[in-house]
A and B are shown apart, each in its own frame.
Chain A
């Protein structure tokens, strides 16, 4: 059974802090690792990672995948209150293309 574990489950920081969110996975016939941001509504897509060591970057957010150690991290630098959200990680199996989601990390950024 495929499994995705995220840590920490919750995080409270102040504006300007840098945070690292972790995602480890055990996915049969692994194809890709996805990150989503969810702000009290539908998840919105952030990154898709398929290759080890190649950093994906979008503004203050970046993510990298380690296929040997089976984990990914999502970094957010200079956090802002608008970064407050649940961040979801999902591993996609190449056989079924069904994503398995982790429980998410709830990030709260205080002004």
Chain B
């Protein structure tokens, strides 16, 4: 049981490049979330999903897109990366029976030059 995993762990992009971050969970959780964390800013919600095939915007969605084609996977895409998107990205998931408690992945550190 791996819990929540994220790929890649680190990435450096140039401005304008695109990339996709992959989040996978093996706990059969319905709900999945993408956050970004910047120094002194806590966790800010980018997008979330309440089930396979559904997505919704969070607090800071601009510049990001997401997809949830399979229940266990939640993808975060950056179409044209900007330096302001340099951050640490965390994925999280929760189950129907315990919707309050989020299980977090290890994070992806992204630098955009």
Which single member of A43, A90, A97, A104 contacts B99 (CB below 8 Å)?
A97
CB within 8 Å: A-B pair count: 48
Say whether B100 contacts A103, CB under 8 Å. Answer: no
Bound-state Cα–Cα, A103 to B45, Å: 13
A88 to B40, CA, bound (A): 11
- Determine the interface band of chain A, counting residues with CB < 8 A from chain B: 20 to 34
**Cβ of A103: which chain B residues have Cβ within 8 Å of it?**
40-42
The chain B residue with its CB closest to the CB of A32 is B100
> B67 → chain A, closest Cβ, in Å?
19
Whether A98 is near chain B, meaning CB under 8 Å from some CB there, is yes
Question: Contact: B106 with A41, CB < 8 Å?
Answer: yes
Contact check, B100 vs A92: say whether CB atoms are below 8 A apart.
yes
Which residues in chain A, 20-38, are within 8 Å of chain B measured between CB atoms?
Answer: 31-32, 34
Give the chain A neighbours of B103 by CB distance below 8 A: 45
Beyond A32-B100, A42-B107, A43-B104, 19 additional pairs, beta carbon < 8 A: A31-B100, A34-B101, A42-B90, A42-B106, A43-B102, A44-B104, A45-B101, A45-B102, A88-B42, A97-B31, A97-B100, A98-B45, A98-B58, A99-B102, A101-B35, A101-B42, A101-B43, A104-B40, A104-B42
